[in-house]
Structures are given as structure tokens and as C-alpha cells.
Amino acid sequence: MSSIERILYPPVEPYATHRVAVGDGHELYVEEVGRPDGVPAVFLHGGPGGGLVPAARRFFDPDRYRVVLFDQRGAGRSTPPGGLRGNTTWHLVDDLEVIRERLGIDAWLVFGGSWGVTLGLAYAQTHPTRVTGLILRGVLLMRRAERDWFYQGGLRHLQPEEWERFVAPIPAAERDDVLGAYHRRLHGPDEAEARACAAAWGRWEAVNSSLVPDAGLLDHFTADAHALPIARILSHYVWHGGFLDTDTQLLDGVDRIRHLPAVIINGRYDLCCPPVSAYDLARHWPEADLRIVPDAGHSAAEPGIAGALLRATDEFAARLAG
């Protein structure tokens, strides 16, 4: 048994699944795990466009939680796959309210990683009375500095050979704006070029998602069936700055949620979401509990991150059950 298997709760199947129409032609896949009378929590997957994996259910004690997990617009088992019409942060915020009301939940714990942090903060700041607390892992605030770090060359100093693979599909004359060049190709009319770019994009995402690249994640992000829809959704969001009004919108909005309990978890060597963003969020939110994992990168599947997440969900279960 691997170290991560020893940390997570045992595999569990949903006790209910739903198809939820949310408008703009989108229908979301939603599942519930645990016990119907447990502490309500909602799991927000990363990406955007990444979709759910079965292991996501295992960060919560099934004897104490009622966990709602769903594939966001265009992702996973939601339809249409890769759909971009009506697909923005604020559509997803509205979707969360549709799901919550449909399931008869008054308020829930928000658990989000990476892009799920962005969405979780946007949702909590919009609907603070519907949130009982937040667990945020691998902080992404969608600031320009973060996007430049990952897509415009900052990270090449740590990943030079992978950066060369990433920019290979882009002509040298366009590499002053790698993100823009990718966005044009991923959403352009040349399907073969879009698929080639999607595979390169997916590799870059996958190899930087953990200290040691995960072969399964790499296969998923580069597989022809998944690569293009994921890359299109992700580039759509990144190109538009997460559809936020200002670069610091999520930091400026922290005052709306400072009364809520929160745990912020970040790997010290997170290449996707360096800990400076978690630190900046904690500076704006001094009541939050910042926990830097010293021997981890970005992935929730790394033992240090997984252990920190389970400690946080166990703490919240005890806190919210009463």
C-alpha cells in the first residue's frame, strides 16, 4: 500500500448522483458521498476543466460528512464537454447556489484546491452566509504575476527543459506572449494544430503539478480524448484573468469573509502556485490558519499535502458538528 493510500479515508462510492441543468446548454454531474445527515461540504476541483477524480471523495470522513462533488461546466462528466458558452467564474458561482438549493443545504464547508481556491473565494465573498468555513489548498488568486510566472516564462528558470517542450509549438516571433499564442491556437480553426498545442499544454500542466511528475496525471492531461477540452477551458479562464474585475479582487474581498474559519495549505515547493500567494492571502486574512507543508509541491496526492488536508477536514468536522 502506498503512503497516500495509508493517509486517505478508504474508497467510497456516492450514495446519490444527479444531473443538474444550469442554463446555457450546460448540465452538471453532481454526486453526494458520506452520510445524508453529515456535515455539509462542497469539493471544488482544480483546472479549470480538470474534473473530478475518485480520490477526491477520500479527503473527508464518510461517517461525519455529507460531501457534494461536481464536475464544473465543460469538465469531466458534465456536458457539453469543453463547452465555453456561458462558462465564466460567475456562472460557476451561480451553479454552486443552484446545486446547494437543489440539495436543500443551508450552508456548507468549501474545500478547494488550486483553481478551486479561486472559485471558492469568489463564491464565499459573493455568498458569505452560505459558507461555514474554507479549506484552501495551493492558492491561486489569478493575479497577473501568477499567470506570468507559469505561462510567460518565470518558471522556465526551474524547469528549462520542460519550458522548451512547452514553447516548441509556438514560433519564436510569438514567444513574447506565449499565453496569447496558445490561446489563439487552442481556439483557432486548425484542429490538428489545436490538438498538438493541447498535448504540449497538458504536459506542462502535469509535470509541474507535483514534486515528482505523476505518470497517470501526465497521461490524462495529454490523452487525445481529454487534452483539448481541458486546455481550451483552462486557457479560456487564464486568458481572461479568471473573469475577475481587478488583479487584486479576491484579496480586496477578504473582509467579507474574515469572520469565517479558514485553513490555507500550500506546499513549500509548489511550482504551479508558489507559496507567496498563500502568504499574501494570509496577510489579508490574519484570522486564517496558514500551514506551509515543507516537503511538498502542488498536488493533493503528495503525502504531506494529503495529510494536512485530512487534518483540516477532521478539525472542521469536530468544529461544525456541534
Cell of 68: 457534494
Question: Which whole-number Å values give the CA distances from 31 to 12, 34, 88, 179, 227, in the listed order?
Answer: 12, 10, 22, 34, 24
Largest CA distance in the chain: 61
Burial 28-44 (b: 16+ CB within 10 A, else e): bbbbbbbeeebbbbbbb
Q: Could you tell me which residues come within 8 angstroms of residue 201 by beta carbon, excluding any fewer than 6 positions away?
A: 166, 182, 186, 227, 231, 234, 235
Contact (CB, 8 A) for 263 and 313: no
Closest among 107, 100, 103, 120 to 44, alpha carbons compared:
120
Helices 191-207 and 178-186 cross at an angle (nearest 10°) of: 130
Helices 144-151 & 178-186, crossing angle to 10 degrees?
Answer: 80
Of these residues, 78, 114, 209, 299, which one is catalytic?
Answer: 114
How many CB atoms within 10 Å of residue 27?
18
Mapping DSSP to helix (H, G, I), strand (E, B) and coil, where does residue 111 land?
strand
245 is catalytic: no
Query: Are the CB atoms for 267 and 304 separated by under 8 Å?
Result: yes
CA distance 67 to 105: 11
- Tell me which residue of 27, 22, 123, 16 sits closest to 75, measured CA to CA: 27
User: For residues 125 and 123, what is the distance between their CA atoms, to the nearest angstrom?
Assistant: 6
Q: Which of 236, 270, 277, 299 is catalytic?
A: 270
- Of 305, 316, 304, 321, whose CA–CA distance to 46 is shortest? 305
For the record, the C-alpha cell of 308 comes out as 494536512
Our answer to whether residue 45 is catalytic in this structure is no
Let me know if 284 is a catalytic residue. no
Show which residues are catalytic.
114, 270, 298
